[in-house]
Chains A and B, each alone.
Chain A
Amino acid sequence: MKLELINLTKQYGNFTALDHVNITFTEGIYGILGANGAGKSTMMNLLTDNIPRTEGQILFDGTDILKLGRDFRRVLGYMPQQQGYYEHMTAQTFLSYMADLKAIPKKQARAEIEKLLEITNLSDVRHKKLGGYSGGMKQRVLLAQALLGDPKVVILDEPTAGLDPKERIRIRNFIADLSRERIILLATHIVSDIESISDQILMMKKGRVVGMDRPDRLIENVAQEVRESVVPGHFSLEDVYLYYLGE
């Protein structure tokens, strides 16, 4: 399974939000790090075909996702950064509705919803309307819907925003436990969320990918470059983040 971004560019007028990005994603968890406005969400929106590209291609197993259309969306699980939900629906109904939109058979959907409500710790409040949920609970419902249908490509835009530490660890571990036979893109600016679970880290700045490697290699590379200024053994991914993305 391969998801390729070839020369992918997005411009809003004169502003370039994504600048000729070339990446190939295979099975694994990809942490995408970048400050606000780095182009993470633009890349996510292009991958979900929610905004038109200016230039370039996105190929899934060699075919453009625009050509694949519904077939690509069948294998896609997406959790947007902006919390979108129907406040008058309960979590149970919302997930059932999303399962229907994802063309998941009713029986399968019922079992999956049970499991996901359990994982996201929402079983006890499943019949409460989403409008009455806290920010963290809403976040968990959105994560649950993204994982409905066992998607092969999972795009999570700031999945742990608004969660308390306990919930963040719980969700992080759950993502880590997801089958490795899928592509998981996890955009965040919270370094600790991805440090331990990502197979690869992407550093984005001003619409460009400024670094991409395994977390330990990134740390090692940066440590070599700035060896004289840091104390060995105390170098972390946050330092890498600051090295690449700091002013």
Chain B
Amino acid sequence: MRELGRIFSRRRLTLGLVLILMLNGFLFVREQRENDYGLDLELPSSGFIFVDGTFMTTQEPVDAWAAYRRYSEWLDRARKLPLADAVTMLTDEKAALSAKITGDTDTENDQLDYVAVNNLLAQTDYLTGYGGWLENIQKNKENLLTFSIFNDPDSFSGRNILKTADEFEKLQGVELTLGTDGAVDSFMSFRLTDYFLLLVLLLVALSFLEERKAGLWSVVHAAPNGRFKLAIRRTLILFGASVAGVLLLYGTDLALGFSLYGGFGDLDRAVQSVETLGRLPMLTTVGGFLVRFFLLRIAAAFLVSLLLWLMLTAINNVKYTIIVAAGALAVEYSLYTFLPVQSAFNILKYFNLFTYISLSDLYTNYLNIDIFSYPLGIRSISQLALIPLCLLLTAICVYVHCHKKPAAGRDLLGRVAYKLNSVTDKFLRRLHLMGMELHKTLWIQKGIVIVVLLIYVVFGLSYTVSIPVMSSAEQAARQYTTQFAGEITDGTFARMDAEQKLLDNDLAAYEDAKAAYDAGLFEYPELDKYAREAAAAQTKSEGLSKVRSRAEELRDKGAAEGFTPWLIDETPFESVYGSRAQSNQQQAALVAVLALTLLLAGSMVYERQSGMTYLLKSTARGRGALILRKLLLAAGMTTLVWTVVYGMEVYALLSSFDIPAWSASAKNLSMLTAFPLNCSITGALVLLYVFRWLMLFCGAVIVLLISSRMKRMEVAYIAASAVTLIPSVLYVYMGIGALRPLSLTLPVAAMPLILSAGGALTDAGLALAALLATAAVSTACVSVQARGKS
């Protein structure tokens, strides 16, 4: 119990575990939302139009959550019927809804119904086709065995065909029923939990190295209970951590899955009723499978934790053990991920540490591998090996713990590190204060890892959205906008008039053709050709009319407000900065704020945690000059994060679109109608990015203030994240409006504030004033604290 108390009394570990648990739940829910709650949201009218080199969707987005609730209602209705009747009912409904939607007589309700029915039909297709799929396996066996290359009963192929058919034969007659699959599907497919569990186990295993770091290993090793008894206690702690980790992390996933999707009452269905588990040749219910999965998950977690412990304790030097453990994990992961299924060494791919980490693969895939010409199921091997491996590893871990001598072994890594340090010292001694501050932030506080992760995450961010083209007239308007793009002059209207005349000619030609057809001078196919041209001309005319109206509006506004009117294709700006791109904007801002917080939260508190405060203040440059460097560091880190996050945004804008209107007045853009400054689009964008930099810098200064008030690094990271991120996350992702004024990502993204005011800078100005004032006060506080007395 004391060992357990020692480990979990460490606040850093406990906080880490709580954070992992919360992050896991948050990301689980987020993934469900991003995956549209497992629904296919496509409507029958949906398609893509190729406009200006870009595919544009013609479908307004369907509310995924509303669609899922509708799906649940239809599911309740369908499950009351026999499966065949349910299929008939759903097929009829789908046809009727499809007709409504393609005939443009649909309502939003019809769209939700269509999505629900369509997804339900896909589910019933699987259920009704499962029997046939099983029969096919048996038929395939008969067919394949007629070929000479497969019918050798002593070959792997022959045995594999027989084994597969044999295993699935026992499923013949299994009764599949319609039910809610979402919770089990999401539970099986959410892979991040596997890695969160690995992290939890790693943290617990690392806590066993504490005594080495504290120089107490010899003392512990010399104590009467410091060997065998301690090893057994640690084994039990690892087992307990495995049980708790699995129950908490996977239990959270399952509980959240059931609360989101429902279906807790569907646990008595045959496990194959859930399509994800259709290839599992096992007669059990969904509930039975879940219990079995949890037990195996616990055993697998225990095995992984023992392996981690062994890797970490087998070598005396702590750093060396971490490098070796990281290397071993990297090798295992590479084999698991990159080794081809057909490889002769595929045993290394499946009998792998990561098989036990990503356990769900064993149940969603059916695969036999060749072991001396005998087909062995990867699931069976992995399951059967679990208990013996756990016992064996326990014995090895206990043995190593008892017999490893604390003072044995040469510190080879220490010598290498010393040589390496002598090289870096030559470089570091040339650095001045600013350089050393950078060194502390990027190297000592591992900021470089944050920067690398930031770059990786930013490459995965989406900066553009497709702007739907809802009608042919709208598409025509967009094409005319491109055609007449440029400064609006009398010539522009003359060209529009000329174009309108051509369209009128087409319409008149159709009228003439109709008269000729009535007079019997034309055949119907010829009239049809004119009719189609006239219809196209009508559509284009509508588009042209819209463009003309916009041009006239801009001309009048330009004359009134004193700017040169330009007709601009606004798609690029809408796509990157418009209201449809708000989610992208918020996400980019959140990433930027998170990265900046993690980079700077340790900056001030590091001095205090190192006990350097008094010493620094006794030096000539340890007060004002040092604080100035810290502020410069904040500015530098802000610039770095800003460049990475928003550099990618600018790159996305420039690489996706050809924009000739950079010099046009920003007021020509619909989204900036109320923009108060008479500057070009380039100027407005420069202002936008400068504004974002300022907001980020203000955030950085607030982080510095929080850091300066804390005593420990981990507390500083948590407190800074709580201030800069939690209100933003709760406001943006949970919709808690009361937190809007505290949300830092809102002013950093900036465009939501500008768009909500129709391009006016009122809200943005208020945010700027508030944050600048906060940053100024923060700077003053930090400065006073540093200059004054502790």
B425 touches A92 (CB 8 A): yes
| A window 67-105: CB within 8 A of B | 70, 73-74, 76, 78, 80, 82-90, 92-93, 96-98, 100-103
How many A-B residue pairs have C-beta atoms within 8 angstroms? Tell me. 103
A73 touches B611 (CB 8 A): no
- Complex CA distance for A182 and B265, rounded to whole angstroms: 85
| A window 181-218: CB within 8 A of B | none
Within the complex, which residue of A51, A70, A102, A132 is in contact with B789, where a contact is CB–CB below 8 Å?
A51
Q: Which residue of B lies closest to A76 (CB)?
A: B618
The minimal Cβ–Cβ distance linking B714 to chain A, given in whole angstroms, is 16
Q: Mark B592-621, 1 if CB is under 8 A from A, else 0.
A: 000000000000000000111111111111
Q: Which residue of A lies closest to B626 (CB)?
A: A101
B436 touches A127 (CB 8 A): no
Interface centre among A82, A126, A127 (most CB of B within 10 A): A127
A123 at the interface (CB under 8 A from B): no
A48 at the interface (CB under 8 A from B): yes
| B window 612-638: CB within 8 A of A | 612-624, 626
Within the complex, which residue of B425, B433, B621, B789 is in contact with A52, where a contact is CB–CB below 8 Å?
B789
- Complex CA distance for A45 and B790, rounded to whole angstroms: 10
Taking CB atoms, residues of chain B closer than 8 Å to A78 are 614-615, 618
B610 touches A128 (CB 8 A): no
B620 touches A103 (CB 8 A): yes
Taking CB atoms, residues of chain A closer than 8 Å to B424 are 93
- Complex CA distance for A103 and B612, rounded to whole angstroms: 17
Q: Which residue of A lies closest to B433 (CB)?
A: A100
B428 touches A96 (CB 8 A): yes
- Known interface pairs A93-B425, A100-B432. Does A50 touch B418 (Cβ–Cβ under 8 Å)? no
Q: Mark A142-181, 1 if CB is under 8 A from B, else 0.
A: 1001000000000100000000000000000000000000
| A window 96-124: CB within 8 A of B | 96-98, 100-103, 106, 110
Taking CB atoms, residues of chain B closer than 8 Å to A126 are 425
Within the complex, which residue of B422, B431, B615 is in contact with A127, where a contact is CB–CB below 8 Å?
B422
A129 touches B421 (CB 8 A): yes
A238 at the interface (CB under 8 A from B): no
B621 touches A101 (CB 8 A): yes
The minimal Cβ–Cβ distance linking A183 to chain B, given in whole angstroms, is 15
The minimal Cβ–Cβ distance linking B146 to chain A, given in whole angstroms, is 70
Taking CB atoms, residues of chain B closer than 8 Å to A103 are 620-621
Within the complex, which residue of B444, B610, B621, B624 is in contact with A84, where a contact is CB–CB below 8 Å?
B610
Q: Which residue of B lies closest to A88 (CB)?
A: B444
Q: Mark B438-468, 1 if CB is under 8 A from A, else 0.
A: 0010001000000000000000000000000
B433 touches A101 (CB 8 A): yes
B2 at the interface (CB under 8 A from A): no
- Known interface pairs A50-B617, A89-B444. Does A83 touch B611 (Cβ–Cβ under 8 Å)? yes
The minimal Cβ–Cβ distance linking A42 to chain B, given in whole angstroms, is 12
Within the complex, which residue of B417, B418, B620 is in contact with A70, where a contact is CB–CB below 8 Å?
B620
B430 at the interface (CB under 8 A from A): yes
Taking CB atoms, residues of chain A closer than 8 Å to B419 are 127
Q: Which residue of B lies closest to A83 (CB)?
A: B611
Taking CB atoms, residues of chain B closer than 8 Å to A55 are none
Within the complex, which residue of A85, A98, A106 is in contact with B619, where a contact is CB–CB below 8 Å?
A98
- Known interface pairs A93-B429, A96-B429, A129-B421. Does A80 touch B622 (Cβ–Cβ under 8 Å)? no
Within the complex, which residue of B414, B440, B614 is in contact with A48, where a contact is CB–CB below 8 Å?
B614
Taking CB atoms, residues of chain B closer than 8 Å to A61 are none
The minimal Cβ–Cβ distance linking A226 to chain B, given in whole angstroms, is 39
Taking CB atoms, residues of chain B closer than 8 Å to A70 are 620-621, 623-624
Q: Which residue of B lies closest to A110 (CB)?
A: B429
| B window 183-235: CB within 8 A of A | none
B612 touches A85 (CB 8 A): yes
B616 touches A80 (CB 8 A): no
Taking CB atoms, residues of chain A closer than 8 Å to B422 are 127
- Complex CA distance for A70 and B628, rounded to whole angstroms: 15
Taking CB atoms, residues of chain B closer than 8 Å to A132 are 414
| A window 18-75: CB within 8 A of B | 45, 48-52, 70, 73-74
A85 touches B611 (CB 8 A): yes
- Complex CA distance for A89 and B607, rounded to whole angstroms: 13
Within the complex, which residue of B436, B617, B620 is in contact with A97, where a contact is CB–CB below 8 Å?
B436
- Known interface pairs A86-B610, A88-B444, A90-B421. Does A73 touch B620 (Cβ–Cβ under 8 Å)? yes
- Complex CA distance for A219 and B203, rounded to whole angstroms: 60
Q: Which residue of A lies closest to B419 (CB)?
A: A127
Taking CB atoms, residues of chain A closer than 8 Å to B436 are 97, 100
- Known interface pairs A90-B421, A92-B429, A128-B421. Does A101 touch B619 (Cβ–Cβ under 8 Å)? yes
Q: Mark B471-492, 1 if CB is under 8 A from A, else 0.
A: 0000000000000000000000
- Complex CA distance for A49 and B432, rounded to whole angstroms: 25
B611 touches A82 (CB 8 A): yes
Taking CB atoms, residues of chain B closer than 8 Å to A87 are 610
A127 touches B433 (CB 8 A): no
Taking CB atoms, residues of chain B closer than 8 Å to A50 are 613-614, 617-618, 789-790
- Complex CA distance for A129 and B615, rounded to whole angstroms: 19
The minimal Cβ–Cβ distance linking A7 to chain B, given in whole angstroms, is 19
B614 touches A45 (CB 8 A): yes
B429 touches A49 (CB 8 A): no
Taking CB atoms, residues of chain B closer than 8 Å to A145 are 615
Q: Which residue of A lies closest to B420 (CB)?
A: A127
B618 touches A84 (CB 8 A): no
Taking CB atoms, residues of chain B closer than 8 Å to A76 are 618-619
- Complex CA distance for A82 and B614, rounded to whole angstroms: 9
Q: Mark B506-544, 1 if CB is under 8 A from A, else 0.
A: 000000000000000000000000000000000000000
Within the complex, which residue of A84, A101, A155 is in contact with B613, where a contact is CB–CB below 8 Å?
A84
Q: Which residue of A lies closest to B790 (CB)?
A: A50
- Complex CA distance for A76 and B620, rounded to whole angstroms: 8
- Known interface pairs A49-B789, A50-B789, A93-B425. Does A101 touch B616 (Cβ–Cβ under 8 Å)? yes
Taking CB atoms, residues of chain B closer than 8 Å to A52 are 788-789
- Complex CA distance for A86 and B433, rounded to whole angstroms: 15
Interface centre among B436, B614, B616 (most CB of A within 10 A): B614
- Known interface pairs A48-B617, A101-B622, A127-B421. Does A86 touch B612 (Cβ–Cβ under 8 Å)? yes
Q: Mark B387-421, 1 if CB is under 8 A from A, else 0.
A: 00000000000000000000000000010011101
Q: Which residue of B lies closest to A91 (CB)?
A: B425
The minimal Cβ–Cβ distance linking B75 to chain A, given in whole angstroms, is 58
| A window 206-238: CB within 8 A of B | none
Taking CB atoms, residues of chain B closer than 8 Å to A74 are 620
The minimal Cβ–Cβ distance linking A185 to chain B, given in whole angstroms, is 13
Taking CB atoms, residues of chain B closer than 8 Å to A92 are 425, 428-429
- Complex CA distance for A132 and B318, rounded to whole angstroms: 12
A80 touches B615 (CB 8 A): yes
- Complex CA distance for A97 and B430, rounded to whole angstroms: 10
Q: Which residue of A lies closest to B789 (CB)?
A: A52
- Complex CA distance for A30 and B520, rounded to whole angstroms: 126
- Known interface pairs A78-B618, A80-B614. Does A51 touch B790 (Cβ–Cβ under 8 Å)? yes
Taking CB atoms, residues of chain B closer than 8 Å to A45 are 614
A73 touches B618 (CB 8 A): yes
Taking CB atoms, residues of chain B closer than 8 Å to A155 are 618
Taking CB atoms, residues of chain A closer than 8 Å to B624 are 70
A102 touches B790 (CB 8 A): no
B418 touches A128 (CB 8 A): yes
A-B contact sample (18 more), CB < 8 A, given A93-B425, A101-B616, A101-B626:
A45-B614, A48-B614, A49-B617, A49-B618, A50-B617, A51-B790, A76-B619, A80-B615, A84-B611, A84-B615, A85-B610, A87-B610, A88-B444, A92-B425, A92-B429, A98-B615, A100-B621, A127-B419
Query: Can you list 5 pairs linking A and B with CB atoms under 8 Å apart?
Result: A45-B614, A80-B615, A82-B614, A96-B428, A127-B419
Nearest 3 A/B pairs, CB to CB? A84-B611, A78-B618, A101-B619
